[in-house]
Amino acid sequence: MSRNAEIADLFEEYADLLDAQDVQYKPQSYRRAADNIRDHPEAIEELAEDGPDAVGEIPQVGDSIAGKVIEYFETGKIEELEEERAKLPVRMAELTRVEGVGPKTVGTLYEELGVRTLDDLEEAARAGEIREIKGFGPKTEENITDGIEFARTVRGRELLGNARPVGEQVLTFVSDVPSVGRCELGGSIRRWCETIGDVDVLAESEDKQAVVDAFADWERATEVIEAGTDKAAIRVSDMRIDLRVVVPEEFGSALQYFTGSKNHNITLRNHAIERDLKVNEYGVFDVSDVDDPDAGQRVGEKVAGETEESMYEALGLPLIAPEMREDNGEIDVALAGELPVLIEEGEIRGDLHLHTEWSDGNNTIEGMVEGAVEFGHDYISISDHATGPGMVGGVGLDDDELREQMDEIRNVAEDAPIDVFAGVEANIEGDGGVSVADDVLAELDVVVASPHSGLDGDATDRLIRAIEHPSVDILGHPSGRLINQRPGLDFDVREVARAAIDNDVALEINSSPSRLDLWSGAVQVAVEEGATIVIDTDAHSPGEYRNVRYGVHTARRGWAEPRDVLNTWDAEEVRDFCH
């Protein structure tokens, strides 16, 4: 795995710090560079080895930014970024988790009140000091106060989309250590949970100390937290990585145990006890002839432990996918022989929700088509934003612009090697109405309707009304949440799913790591009802097509099978569904 995301994060931080100090133009340049670095197919560390000209081949990366990339790989830091951090010594990521607090607000709060941390922000809000700042007022202070509690609940939790690439880089590094056999990620990152506390890595080796030493010496480590004889912890930037090394005969049992979840393991342990078995991180043991099964971890006759499959088999169960191990009834379903055949990443055939430079995307229609072809899709739908509430900066298209874009999409589609649908992402208004004229909607191939404003309170009736619109095909990111930023709408998932079934509307899993909306629990309810799911990326550039994997694994966490998912179907089936 490349270090592109790491470099992109640095430039996004740099942009935020400049923005907070009201620097003009530069922040946008760094954000555009960050987007293109993140999406670039080649590893930036390899380009850096070839010099600044090679780095500068990435779009929007000029000489200055290329130089900073080289500087980072040569010295481990960017001096100008360090200077900006010194000028504005705030916990930017922590503070901007509060809804309504952006970089400029952070800059003002620091200058006026010395706010550096979330605790400082809460103290200032409780004391009524924020309302005294020019341009803020009581309502702003109230909104900030309300957002602080939510920001605290997500502190220390990293988005799956940020943590998973780092975990895979660690996995590659540890797997290449000469004495390591098998190596896997564990914990919540292996279950593809939407946020991650720590990254857990499990390795198999007869020489545990050698693996620990190599891990602690990894060049990416910014801090070694601890290093023992069979386990260690390091920090990569702000992310904690925990390594545990076990002997080969206990790798399967340790992997099962450390994957979790805790509740799944408790239910599995109780299931084992009923069969005179003991299950733990060291294996499965037959304790039927043991007087005191609790006398030690390894008492009894060991019957499994080298592989996960053997662990479940010893308990009379088929292997349960890591994504399903949340104690949501999966063990009973496995016992009954009714485990679902979960969707796989390679079964997705297209993407029905993406954006171009016509609204807030970074590429042309042709560019998004070319990216989809390269990614391997059979079809896409161009679904740029329509005008409406929640569309900041005038990015939405009005009805005339949608008609104009429709013509261009269809012109591009004539020569495209894949099917290209003309679509829109319309806004769901406060009363459930859709923000595009009915006659325009009727001309489009795919209509996604999504909430972008009024994202609080119960919205069951509002979403159902949008679903009942005769032209709506997909309910996009139904709650409108942004993970670690805002909670989004409440609604009765079962009622919305039933309405979707009655009106032939697909419910979206938006694969953007900051959304994953529908979330896994809602997917499980919707699939149980028989609703159709669609897994889209909401891509704003071709590189974001890769985010589909986060949606697929969210679907797997919700027990979805391939035929439950609209975009595992072929183009004609999709076209028929949307008409």
**Cβ contacts of 64 within 8 Å, gap of 6 or more:** none
Three-class secondary structure of residue 67 per DSSP: helix
Q: pLDDT at position 390, please?
A: 53
Q: pLDDT at position 99, please?
A: 79
Which residues make up the CATH 3.30.210.10 domain(s) of the chain? 263-335
pLDDT average, residue stretch 470-480: 97
Q: pLDDT at position 332, please?
A: 96
Strands 506-510 and 474-475, sheet pairing: parallel
Of the pLDDT bands very low, low, confident and very high (cuts 50, 70, 90), residue 181 is very high
* pLDDT tens, residue by residue, 147-173: 887 777 766 688 999 999 999 999 999
Are 255 and 186 spatial neighbours (Cβ–Cβ below 8 Å)? yes
Question: Would you say residue 308 has pLDDT above 70?
Answer: yes
Are 198 and 167 spatial neighbours (Cβ–Cβ below 8 Å)? no
Average pLDDT, the chain: 93
For 158-246, the fitting CATH number among 3.40.640.10, 3.30.460.10, 3.60.15.10, 3.20.20.70 is 3.30.460.10
pLDDT average, residue stretch 56-67: 90
Q: pLDDT at position 155, please?
A: 66
Question: Would you say residue 540 has pLDDT above 60?
Answer: yes
Question: Would you say residue 372 has pLDDT above 70?
Answer: yes
Of the pLDDT bands very low, low, confident and very high (cuts 50, 70, 90), residue 391 is low
Cα 35 off chain centre by: 16
Scan for tokens 């670039």, then name that residue: 40
Question: Would you say residue 543 has pLDDT above 60?
Answer: yes
Cα 434 off chain centre by: 28
Structure token pair of residue 205: 């080796």
Are 196 and 158 spatial neighbours (Cβ–Cβ below 8 Å)? yes
Between 38-42, 50-54, 325-329, 428-432, the lowest mean confidence (pLDDT) is in 38-42
For 263-335, the fitting CATH number among 1.20.1440.230, 3.50.50.60, 3.40.190.10, 3.30.210.10 is 3.30.210.10
- The length of the chain, given as a count of residues: 579
Q: pLDDT at position 524, please?
A: 97
Q: How many helices (H) and strands (E) does the chain have?
A: 25, 17
Q: Quote the CA–CA distance of 280 and 285 in Å, as a whole number.
A: 9
Between 148-157, 161-170, 232-241, 334-343, the lowest mean confidence (pLDDT) is in 148-157
Q: Which amino acid is present at 267?
A: T
Which residues make up the CATH 3.20.20.140 domain(s) of the chain? 345-577
Tell me: cis bond preceding 516? Omega within 30 of 0 counts.
no
pLDDT average, residue stretch 485-493: 90
Which residues make up the CATH 3.30.460.10 domain(s) of the chain? 158-246
* pLDDT tens, residue by residue, 244-288: 999 999 999 999 999 999 999 999 999 999 999 999 999 999 999
> Which fold does the domain 4-153 belong to in CATH?
DNA polymerase; domain 1 (1.10.150)
Q: Which amino acid is present at 158?
A: E
**Cβ contacts of 445 within 8 Å, gap of 6 or more:** 381, 421, 422, 423, 575, 578
Scan for tokens 């609204």, then name that residue: 359
Structure token pair of residue 262: 């805790």
484 versus 442: the higher-pLDDT residue is 442
Per mean pLDDT, which of 48-52, 374-378, 484-488 is the most reliable?
374-378
Specify which residues 506 forms β-bridges with: 474
How many CB atoms lie under 10 A from the CB of residue 19? 21
Q: pLDDT at position 393, please?
A: 53
Are 451 and 485 spatial neighbours (Cβ–Cβ below 8 Å)? no
Q: For residue 183, give the DSSP letter.
A: E
Question: Would you say residue 431 has pLDDT above 80?
Answer: yes
What does the angle CA 234 – CA 238 – CA 240 come to, to the nearest 5 degrees?
35
Three-class secondary structure of residue 111 per DSSP: helix
Question: Would you say residue 292 has pLDDT above 90?
Answer: no
Quick one: CATH architecture of 345-577? Alpha-Beta Barrel (3.20)
Does the pTM of the predicted model rise above 0.95? no
pLDDT average, residue stretch 308-325: 97
**Cβ contacts of 410 within 8 Å, gap of 6 or more:** 422
Q: pLDDT at position 24, please?
A: 85
Report the candidate in 576, 531, 533, 529 with the shortest Cα–Cα distance to residue 552: 533
